[in-house]
Amino acid sequence: MEVVGDIATLRARPRALALGTFDGVHAGHRAVIGRAVDLAREHGLTSAVVTFDRHPLTVVDPAHAPRLLTSNEEKIKLIAGLGPDELLLLHFDRELAALSPEEFCTRVLAGALQARVVVVGENFNFGAGGSGDAVRLQECGASLGYEVEVRPLVTEHGATISSTRIRRLLHAGALEEVREILGRPPSAAGVVVHGDKRGRTLGVPTANVDVEAGTIFPGRGVYAARVLVDGAWHRAAVNIGHNPTFRNKDEPTTHITVEAFLLGFHGDIYDREIRLDFLHKIRDERRFESVSALVAQMRRDIEAAGSLADPDYEAVGLPPTESVDL
């Protein structure tokens, strides 16, 4: 799959396009992309996925821009696995945001991309202020010479699959449901940074992860996870939250820390980028009356992460269970 950021560099050839934001590349997105790939093969066209290098709301309404389910790097990998010939990762800026639906269809779809077929989901919006919808896209296609296929929203267990719903489930710690919708564990990546080293003094050293800006991770709590470090996977217990035991009850805070204890790992990983795949919520975050009570619970959390039997551990070569001496 060829990844293109500047449509001015594209070779002139007719295309079947899958068009959307595709944050999370969930089952609904995969249905749209898969249909475009199939149509390209049927009609002898180049299959291309058209998406953006940032969520459009970060430009048009930053205060309401959501945290992303996937970074651009992960989105590219996930889309590549679906088989399109090209991924057009358009730079979304104020100039692009200002195009009317008709201008976007004329300049971008029919012009630069030479669309012959465009596939979108039924909730697709485009153009300045989101003024265009799937019906308007079909009207433009009829006048500009390309077909538009509108795919119905995908449902599971009676509920519509959407990126917004996945974010809500992730915030609630409903990881099993998120995994079912995504077809993979929810994940986050970040660089290990120096923290207050409190875990080391407590005998439970953790990696303090500065998660990539703008990406989402589960809500406050303790999670069993698998962590990728330098190409090797490790089981982990991950705490996400405010560390309330070490704060005054009335002390306000908006700062969230992500701290991972890697089972059986010994080494220095400061300044390295790691990936965390979240598999199961162990418990909610809570305040403990003493440090000793907290440490005892941390040890139980680590034992829980080690004893959890999960196919996503075995899928990356980790043993079914793992014990650790603390």
- For the residues of 121-166, what is the DSSP string, one character each? ETT-EESGGG-EEHHHHHHHHHHHT-EEEEEPPPEETTEE--HHHH
CATH T-level fold of 2-156: Rossmann fold (3.40.50)
Question: According to CATH, where is 2.40.30.30 located in the chain?
Answer: 185-314
284-285-289-295 Cα dihedral, nearest 10 degrees: 100
What is the predicted pLDDT for the residue at 192? 93
What is the predicted pLDDT for the residue at 145? 94
What is the predicted pLDDT for the residue at 196? 67
Q: Which stretches of the chain score pLDDT less than 70?
A: 196-203, 244-254, 323-326
Contact 287, 244 (CB under 8 A): yes
* Terminal alpha carbon distance of the chain: 46
> Residue 306's closest CA among 320, 318, 319, 323?
323
The predicted-structure confidence for 98-130, as pLDDT tens digits, reads as follows 999 999 999 999 999 999 999 999 999 999 888
What is the predicted pLDDT for the residue at 251? 56
CA atoms within 13 A on the CB side of 269: 25
DSSP-assigned letter for residue 203 = T
Pull the structure tokens for residue 211: 């998660």
Contact 66, 216 (CB under 8 A): yes
The residues, any chain, with a CB within 8 Å of residue 78's CB and separated by 6 or more, are 25, 70
Taking the C-alpha atoms of residue 19 and residue 306, their distance in angstroms, rounded to an integer, is 42
Question: According to CATH, where is 3.40.50.620 located in the chain?
Answer: 2-156
Q: Report, at the CATH architecture level, how domain 185-314 is classified.
A: Beta Barrel (2.40)
What is the predicted pLDDT for the residue at 309? 76
Taking the C-alpha atoms of residue 263 and residue 233, their distance in angstroms, rounded to an integer, is 10
For the chain, the residue count is: 326
The predicted-structure confidence for 43-94, as pLDDT tens digits, reads as follows 999 999 999 999 999 998 999 999 999 999 999 999 999 999 999 999 999 9
Backbone phi, psi, residue 239, to 5°: -105, 130
Pull the structure tokens for residue 73: 């790097």
